[in-house]
Amino acid sequence: MSESEKLLVTLENGIKRITINRPERRNAVDKETIQGLSQAIETSKSDGTRVIILTGEGEAFCAGADLQRRGDEGIIGIDVTKSLREGANPLIIAMRALPVPIIARVHGHAVGIGCNFALASDIIIASEKALFSQIFVRIGLMPDGGGTFFLPRLVGYHKAFELMATGDIIDAKTALSIGMVNHVVPVEELDATVATMAEKLARGAAIAIAKVKGAANQALTNNLADALDAEAVNQADCFSSADFAEGVQAFLEKRKAAFQGR
């Protein structure tokens, strides 16, 4: 399968859908897939994308890194530090830095770095058949792809340690109960629920949403004073935007605002 075929990307009405297209490998990612994801995220800065839906083709979201041997090449002996620094790490940082919201549409397995692709997104909508795991320890690894950063902040240290140290697989309802995901819906309602959320975000005030995402990310490491100051600085950009003027006018006219992202 060619690099381009490993990833399907569409953009319509400001909604970009990025689909990992390796269903025969449960959408496990290799170097080329990581590169394709990075490129798709990068182009989203300037191609009119207002919201991204990240998902996997078929019956899995992403089953982690592809550990399958290629010919005489094995995974043992790979400079994994170099590989992560040049591949997965910049991708995760780009996902968080992108001033566009990312919705993870999760069905089936989201394990290993696949789980952390979901956690690096801004909203996670899962089907009842979704499964999540920091499965790394089962093959003698620790989490990568930001798992040690995201998970403790979402579920607390003790639960995060348990999930990372055991590699246990949890179902969607458990993930919802501990705060890992936003919504869990029946399989037949997944696409409609994701579409509704994507359309809502795409119609929203793009500048304000970008500032919300940036400030929320800063707040993960900022103290309160820094968070308050970042809000003060970023609010000025929102305040001077055409979207804010439209929002106020729409409020006064008791109608829905027609935001343009300016």
| Predicted confidence pLDDT, tens digits, the chain (262 residues) | 455 599 999 999 999 999 999 999 999 999 999 999 999 999 999 999 999 999 999 999 999 998 774 434 556 667 788 889 999 999 999 999 999 999 999 999 999 999 999 999 999 999 999 999 999 998 888 999 999 999 999 999 999 999 999 999 999 999 999 999 999 999 999 999 999 999 999 999 999 999 999 999 998 887 778 777 877 888 888 888 898 888 888 878 989 889 888 8
Q: Say how many C-beta atoms besides its own lie within 10 A of residue 261's C-beta.
A: 17
Residue 48 CB: number of other CB atoms within 10 A?
Answer: 10
Same domain, 221 and 141: no
CA dist., res. 53 & res. 79, Å (int): 31
Q: Examine the fold and report which residue of 163, 179, 202 is the final residue of a domain before the chain moves on.
A: 202
Residue 123, domain extent:
4-202
Strand partners, 16: 11, 52
| Residue 252, both tokens | 């006064």
Residues 96 and 211 grouped into a single domain = no
Same domain, residue pair 9 and 105: yes
**In this structure, are 182 and 102 located in the same domain?**
yes
Asked if 57 and 152 sit in the same domain, the reply is: yes
Strands (E), 42-101: 51-56, 60-62
Q: Do 50 and 169 fall within a single domain?
A: yes
Q: Is the full-model pTM beyond 0.75?
A: yes
Do residues 28 and 58 share a domain? yes
On whether the CB atoms of residues 136 and 142 are closer than 8 A, the answer is yes
Same domain, 178 and 229: no
Residue 129 lies in a domain: yes
Collapsing DSSP to helix, strand or coil, 105 comes out as strand
Which CATH number belongs to the domain containing residue 231 in this structure? Answer: 1.10.12
* Domain count across the chain: 2
Going by DSSP bridges, is the β-strand pair 7-12/15-20 parallel, antiparallel, or unpaired? Answer: antiparallel
- CB atoms closer than 10 angstroms to residue 252: 8
In a domain, 261, yes or no: no
Asked if 50 and 261 touch (Cβ cutoff 8 Å), the reply is: yes
CATH number of the domain within which 84 lies: 3.90.226.10
The answer to whether 148 and 116 are in contact (CB under 8 A) is no
60 plus 131 within the same structural domain: yes
| DSSP state letter for 23 | G
